[in-house]
Homo-oligomer: A and B are copies of this chain.
Amino acid sequence: VADDQLTYQNQQIQRLRRLLGRRSARVDEGAFVIEGPGLIGEAVDGGWEFEAQYVAPGGEPIRGAGPVRYLADGVIERVATTEAPQPILAVAKVRSCELPAPAGFLVVADRLADPGNLGTILRSAEAAGAACVALTPGSVDPFNPKVIRASAGAVFHVPVVVASIEEVSAQGWRTIGTSSHLGEPYTELELSSPVAIVVGNEASGLADDAPVDGWIMIPHQGRSESLNVAMAATVICFDLARRGNNLGGQAANR
């Protein structure tokens, strides 16, 4: 092991493991880990602030991803959350956002539990031009490594806030809940801006008495459980973009 290479026992390496594995560590330290050059590059492009980058043998430092540390052989495999990790990790600082003033649309994810679903929702929301994704208390952490990966870096390009449905309403957004059985087909409702689309937990959905201003459903053929929450959010986000109800408007004509 070269003098400048960190071994598995090093305190910084143990910190990387904590930040990857524990939400409480991310919250306490206001920092999180990004894995792989593609996602680190997305965060650099998004203007995120970095503490340091950790380069394994065969990896290359990334400009803008903080001071460079080198890892000894075999360390990254014991730290990373993927089976065949790419040879770089970086620690970035958690960025806190505020709920935006009402304009366009945003998505509220209520106690969403599955990292893959939140990742997909972030990706669709960003691509469709959402102003923000709000997570109610109790939702999966947006800096969970699986969320970051499933978002394909979208988490670095769309503002994410923690806020209750009531707080979103209080900010002046009209809140519309999505349901499998309540409300009108989304195609029948005006859904003009500013509108906050609220999607519910995977297992329980959004509570029928959730404090929303209205309800929509996505009509579908056949079986009752045919759409999951991430697919539903994708459909609604792109329909809002089609209508020009996103930030910047008229995305459909770009």
Contacts and interface: CB of A to CB of B under 8 A. Distances in A.
Interface of A: 42, 120, 123-124, 126-129, 152-154, 157, 185, 187-188, 218-223, 225-228, 231, 234-235, 238-239, 241-242, 246-248, 251-254
Contacts of A223: 42, 126-127, 153-154, 157
A221 B235 contact: no
Nearest to A236: B238
Q: Which 8 A-B pairs have the closest CB atoms?
A: A127-B226, A127-B220, A129-B221, A235-B238, A187-B252, A187-B242, A219-B254, A219-B252
A220 B241 CA distance: 8
A223 B128 CA distance: 11
Nearest to A221: B129
Nearest to A38: B225
Contacts of A153: 223
A115 to B, nearest CB: 14
B226 A123 contact: yes
Nearest to A185: B252
A127 B234 contact: no
B238 A126 contact: no
Nearest to A254: B219
Nearest to A156: B223
Contact of A221 (B128, B218, B219): B128
26 contacts: A42-B223, A124-B227, A124-B231, A126-B221, A126-B223, A127-B227, A127-B231, A128-B220, A128-B221, A129-B221, A129-B222, A152-B225, A153-B223, A154-B226, A157-B223, A218-B238, A219-B241, A219-B253, A220-B241, A220-B251, A221-B251, A221-B254, A231-B234, A234-B234, A238-B239, A239-B239
